[in-house]
Copies of this chain bind each other. A is one copy, B any other.
Amino acid sequence: MDAAATLLEIEAIKQLKARYCRYLDTKQWDAWRELFTDDFVSDTSASGGKVIDGADEFVAFLRATLGKPAQPTVHQVHAPEIELTSPTTATGVWALNDVVRLAPGVNLNGYGHYHETYEKIDGRWRIKTSELTRLRMDVFNPLFTVRISDRLRSTGVALARRFGR
């Protein structure tokens, strides 16, 4: 592959991970499912979680755990190190900052890295494996959290759809 084709694949994988975060945090579960290979494996055991085998199982678990409107989540990813290992396979490391509501007034602010593999199937990149490691996990209680209504939160979904995403 030449330089331009390689960079185009790297950019596509960066946008795949951007959509992973955006669809997860805006709770677009059907669109989110499409980002994974069927045999996707998630391993968060190094960060206090577990291994989940299968994209359907993973999406069902996250949806049950974080799917309620009263459970806002934030996943922001940074400084990707993407490497193509063949025209249809790649590896990547991403820095992560995530904010998750654990209970009323109790929130987690976490920092770590995703270590991932990707596969291009039918012309589209998907996430094949993802392992999460942690640098810090802080539990905090803000003075208060401004409630974002479901209607306002879904504005982002509507906006993205207007632009064809």
Contact = CB atoms under 8 A, between A and B. Distances in A.
Given A18-B95, A47-B152, A139 B134 contact: no
Given A3-B4, A46-B156, A142-B109, A18 B80 contact: yes
Contacts of A106: 143
A56 to B, nearest CB: 25
Question: Most chain-B Cβ atoms within 10 A of its Cβ — which of A8, A106, A133, A164?
Answer: A133
Copies of this chain present in the complex amount to: 3
Contacts of A17: 79
Contact of A137 (B8, B15, B117, B145): B145
Contacts of A72: 135-136
A113 interface: yes
A74 interface: yes
Question: Most chain-B Cβ atoms within 10 A of its Cβ — which of A2, A93, A99?
Answer: A93
A91 B21 CA distance: 18
A48 B137 CA distance: 26
A148 interface: yes
Contacts of A83: 163
Given A11-B10, A148-B135, A155-B46, A18 B111 contact: no
Nearest to A14: B79
A53 interface: no
Contact of A146 (B3, B5, B137): B137
A107 B113 CA distance: 21
Given A91-B163, A95-B21, A137-B146, A77 B74 contact: no
